[in-house]
Structure 1
Amino acid sequence: MPKPIRTSRRAWCAAWVVLCAAGLAATAGLNASSAPDPQPERSVSAECAECVADIETQLAEAKAEQEGEGDGVLAFSRVQAGTGDDCRDELRDHLRGDR
């Protein structure tokens, strides 16, 4: 029966360090190559811009009325028939502050 090759602990540690370094370098390379491109800014239609401006005006008026009255709830009814669904994403982005 052949005698197994004895490898020192230093050799095992060196091999482990080399493998870890190679893995980290490969991971860094993959992360750098798959960076997402920045999204171009979407243009907002005139109807949606007007709708957002109206809602901003209503928010400002409600905030001015609320000063000193305490807590309250501000509710909006549905907007005009055609613009509500068309401007939903723009309005959501505006109110979240993603613009």
Structure 2
Amino acid sequence: MPARMPARIRTSRRTWVVAWTVLCAGGLAATAGLNASTTPDPHPEKSVSADCAQQIADIDAQLGKAEPEAARGEENPLLAISDIRTAGEANCDEELRDHLQGDR
């Protein structure tokens, strides 16, 4: 005699819908909780030395002066900034790059 299959448990569609809804809601709640607990702090402000701050202010002033000239359609809207440092001046390349990329 062949083995008899166990009787199948009948469940309604409503039960399946409720079960999936509860599972999805639980997953979304868990994901939201994990995302909230591991949110990194916003980028901390880096301190810039006084020399670098002065160089950045000078470059901002030159850029501010060049923008109206370019807007008027003047012939040479190109601005060149030389990188000449005297002995003892700080190397502000990274600070300047961060400042200019933040303006975009």
Name the TM-score class by shorter chain.
0.7 to 0.9
CA RMSD, Structure 1 to Structure 2 (Å): 2.6
Q: Say if 1:17 and 1:65 are closer, same or farther in 2 by CA, change over 3 A.
A: closer
1:78 corresponding residue in structure 2: 83
Report the residue type matching 2:41 in the other structure.
Answer: D
Task: Return 5+ residue gaps in structure 1 as ranges.
Answer: none
Task: Return 5+ residue gaps in structure 2 as ranges.
Answer: none
Identity %: 59
Which residue of 58, 70, 92 maps to 1:54? Answer: 58
Quick one: distance in 2 between partners of 1:65 and 1:17? Answer: 62
CA contact (8 A) 2:66 2:77 kept: no
Quick one: distance in 1 between partners of 2:65 and 2:42? Answer: 36
Quick one: distance in 2 between partners of 1:89 and 1:31? Answer: 31
Which structure shows the bigger proportion of residues in helix conformation?
1
Q: Per-residue deviation at 1:77?
A: 2.6
Q: State the number of aligned residues.
A: 97
Larger Rg: 2
Report the residue type matching 1:96 in the other structure.
Answer: Q
2:21 corresponding residue in structure 1: 17
